[in-house]
Structure 1
Amino acid sequence: MDSISEIVHRLADNAEAVCRRYLSSGRREGRYWLVGDVRNAPGRSLYVLLSAAGDTGAQAGKWTDAASGEHGDLLDVIAASCGHGAMRETLAEARRFLSLPMPVPTGSPSPCSTKAPMGTPAAARRLWAASKPAEGSLVAAYLAARGIDVARGDASLRFHPRCYYRPSTDDAPDVRAAWPAMIAAVTDEEDEIVGVHRTWLDPAGGKAPVARPRRAMGQLLGHGVRFGRSDAVMAAGEGIETILSLREALPSLPMIAGLSAAHLAAIRFPAGLRRLYVACDQDPAGDTARKTLAERGAKEGIDVVALMPERADFNDDLCALGRARFADRLGRLLRGEDAARYLVG
């Protein structure tokens, strides 16, 4: 039986043929295949390396979308271009393309199943690859109900229509095993996916009625869900919705969601950072995270500025105030030059 890594290598050995099949809107230029995006739109912003680049160590089959910042391998290409909802579909399609034998069924596969050990970065990357664009999905509807436009942060967000949920001891005995989910990519400073965060959703609206509708997996310490590339001025917060709320008023300011107060306190400062706005939640854990970041920042000459919401968090403020009044209040919390640079009118 061919493993996922072996299939990825076989696809890389046939990178141009894969591109001609699944990215047919593009064309070859030199050692690259150029196309609009991983879903086969016309254009030139996504480039796939067709042969290994010995001078840089880059591997054949790796792709990057210069417009969105997305990147991945040829399994991701097949999953996105075919609109697959589960990794088993993508692997079956890859095996058909490579003329490999299909696996012998051993039982019903689990939704969001992967060949990588559960909870690892590899499993996180497989789940990310099996997910779909957030735009127009239940994720967009969930965020819109909270005053958030998914288009402002969709490069780091995806949608899975049926993501496995492992019940906890607090769940009802008959809790469903799979729900739609918002999938957020947790990346390191090199933009490599090292984990994912899942928010299970109720098709009727809001989060799924389970005991733990939010869970993360992978290597989280020091990392987070990033919106925009690191720069000298950034913002950090605990929750994804908190950061997306800030982006409604500050769409060009790079931001990172730490996913918990403890992980927020431990985020790694990127090189060149000189000012960090910390979006605090109104609770003791959020206050501790802010103080920890301030102490760490002082040692490295980084100006750490607290952004305090009027209510429990900034999403509550956005929903209560509306975008215009929310932006006006934020403008009074920023340094003057930053308000002039980042705040939308």
Structure 2
Amino acid sequence: MADAAHELSRQLGRQAEAVCRHYLSAGRRQGQYWQVGDVRNTPGRSMFVRLSDSVKGPAGKWTDAATGEHGDLLDVIRESQGLSHLSDVVAEAQAFLRLPPTSRDEEAPPRTRPCSSRDPVISARRLFAAAQPIPGTIVETYLRNRGITALHETGSLRFHPRCYYRADAQGPTQPLPAMIAGVTDLRGRTMGVHRTWLAPDGSDKAAIATPRRAMGHLLEHAVRFGVADDVMAAGEGIETILSVRTALPNLPMAAALSAAHLAAIAFPSGLRRLYVVRDTDPAGNKARDSLTARANSTGVEAIVLSPTLGDFNEDLRAFGVDTMRAEIRCQLAPEDVARFMLRSS
């Protein structure tokens, strides 16, 4: 069956554009590549399928620059059609190519992951496990350069000295130092990671086109600091959340990584008050409104924390922690001031 699958992959490669138009209809051709959001036919531009043989590889091979997934056109058929067994993938490919079906007697036992693409959650867990704690690394330098001093309970952040970066599907990979943030569900299971590539000295983000990227399953999940109980805060960026935590060191917080993911973040059981850490831009305003409405509909009180500038890291760097703390204090529920504004030891 492995030889048959290899031959099918080769034949599909000869009709790569037709395969893409059929199974990845949400994408479009861009030069010698088919461009789409992902292997499951989501609209977007991060996945590239090679449409003809070249020195870079055979037709039909693809890479998702956002997640690191890669594979061939059998993977495309499997994922886009939601198939789990090799026999079903082969049958679908044969039907597309108008080939006679393979005899069941010739088949190997079905496998759940028969082809070469990587599970993004498994890849994320491996990357996080390969990284090291941040104390004494350039991740700590990077955060302190942004005014962030609340680095307690930051086990969700790690440092990788050689995290591979690829600008696009056609470009080469290069190893760069990166801050690796673990994205977890409410049970603490790693479901993805967020990578921030850094300058070698930690002075800023790396001078590359997209220094921030996420991989894995992010919807409803977050990068977490502290253990949430009845009160927590949630916002978009890691630096934004850690800036607020510099002023509120005892308040559990979660960074959802984007406005869309913030609006969909899952609430822990027992939550009664949620502080929505707002970014002052259209996407941030929309996330604020959606999350506030969803919290109120489930009986959770939602209180918005608004920065003076674009976000709280801008406030922290522009005004200092004491001024920012005074502005946040006025926005808290009275009973939370003493509970969460005590300085950490």
SS at match of 1:123: helix
| Structure 2 counterpart SS, 1:182 | strand
Deviations 1:14-66 (A, max 9, x none): xxxxxxxxxxxxxxxxxxxxxxxxxxxxxxxxxxxxxxxxxxxxxxxxxxxxx
For 1:202 and 1:119, how far apart are their aligned partners in 2? Answer: 29
Q: 231-240 or 145-154: which moved more?
A: 145-154
Task: Give the partner amino acid of 2:160.
Answer: H
For the pair 1:182 / 2:179, whether they are aligned, the reply is yes
| Partner Cα separation in structure 2 for residue 270 and residue 128 of structure 1 | 23
Q: Conserved in 1, the CA contact under 8 Å of 2:150 and 2:246? A: no
**Which residue does 1:202 correspond to in 2?**
199
Q: Which residue does 1:220 correspond to in 2? A: 218
Counterpart in 1 of 2:328? 330
Match of 2:273 among 261, 275, 284: 275
Q: Does 2:156 correspond to 1:156? A: yes
Whether the aligned pair in 2 keeps the contact of 1:225 and 1:257 (CA below 8 Å) is yes
Deviation at 1:257, TM superposition (A): 0.4
Structure 1 segments unaligned to the other structure (5+ residues): 1-115
Q: Equivalent residue of 1:202, what SS?
A: coil
In 2, Cα distance between equivalents of 1:158 and 1:150: 15
The residue number in structure 1 matching 2:338 is: 340
Structure 1 position 151, deviation (Å): 2.6
Superposition deviation, residue 119 in structure 1: 6.0
Counterparts in 2 of 1:75-86, with a 5 A limit?
none
Shift in alpha-carbon separation, 1:117–1:193, aligned structure 2, 3 A: farther
Match of residue 127 from structure 1: 127
- Mapped partners of 1:180, 1:150: distance in 2: 22
Q: Is the 8 A contact 1:135 1:154 kept in 2?
A: no
Match of 2:228 in 1: 230
Normalised to the residue count of structure 2, the TM-score between the two structures is 0.63
The answer as to whether partners of 1:249 and 1:326 remain within 8 angstroms in 2 is yes
Read off the aligned partner of 1:163 and give its amino acid letter. C
Q: Is the 8 A contact 1:185 1:195 kept in 2?
A: yes
Contact 2:228 2:252 survives alignment (8 Å): yes
Bigger Cα displacement from structure 2, 268-277 vs 141-150: 141-150
Secondary structure of 1:198's counterpart equals: strand
SS, match of residue 160 in structure 1: strand
Separation (CA, whole Å) in 1 of partners of 2:159 and 2:186: 24
Q: Partners of 1:282 and 1:328 in 2: how far apart?
A: 19
Aligned-residue RMSD, C-alpha = 1.7
Cα 1:117/1:184, change in 2 over 3 Å: farther
Counterpart Cα distance in 2 of 1:122 and 1:332: 43
Q: Which amino acid aligns with 1:202?
A: A
1:303-325 per-residue CA deviation (whole Å, 9 max, x = no partner) reads 11111100010001111121222
Alignment map for 1:1-345 (pairs within 5 Å): 117-118=117-118, 120-149=120-149, 151-168=151-168, 177-204=174-201, 205-344=203-342
TM norm structure 1: 0.63
3-state SS of paired residue (1:325): helix
Structure 1 runs, 4 residues or longer, greater than 2 Å off? 116-119, 149-154
- What is the Cα deviation at residue 132 of structure 1? 0.9
Question: Residue 305 and residue 208 in structure 1: after superposition, are their counterparts in 2 closer, same or farther (change >3 A)?
Answer: same
The answer to whether the 8 A contact 1:120-1:217 is kept is yes
**Is the radius of gyration larger for structure 1 or structure 2?**
2
The alignment partner of 1:252 has SS state of coil
CA offsets per residue over residues 272-305 of structure 1, 9 Å max, x none?
Answer: 1111001111100000001101111121111111
**Which stretch of structure 1 is more off in the superposition, 325-334 or 213-222?**
325-334
Where in structure 2 are there 5+ consecutive unaligned residues?
Answer: 1-115
**Cα offset, 1:117, TM superposition:** 4.7
Q: Kindly provide the CA deviation profile for residues 245-284 of structure 1, in whole angstroms up to 9, marking residues without a partner as x.
A: 0110111111100000000000011111111001111100
| Contact 1:152–1:247 (CA under 8 A) maintained in structure 2 | no
CA–CA distance in structure 2, aligned partners of residues 136 and 151 of structure 1: 12
Question: Does the residue aligned with 1:311 lie in a helix, a strand or coil?
Answer: coil
Amino acid at match of 2:181: A
Mapped to 2, the partners of 1:157 and 1:222 lie a distance apart of 19
CA distance 1:150–1:156, shift in 2 (3 Å): farther
Change in Cα spacing, 1:153 to 1:213, as seen in structure 2 (3 Å) is: farther
Figure out how many residues of one structure are paired with residues of the other and give that number: 227
Residues in 1 aligned to 2:173 and 2:117: alpha-carbon distance in whole angstroms = 22
CA distance in 1, matches of 2:251, 2:183: 18
Counterparts of 1:332 and 1:225, CA distance in 2: 26
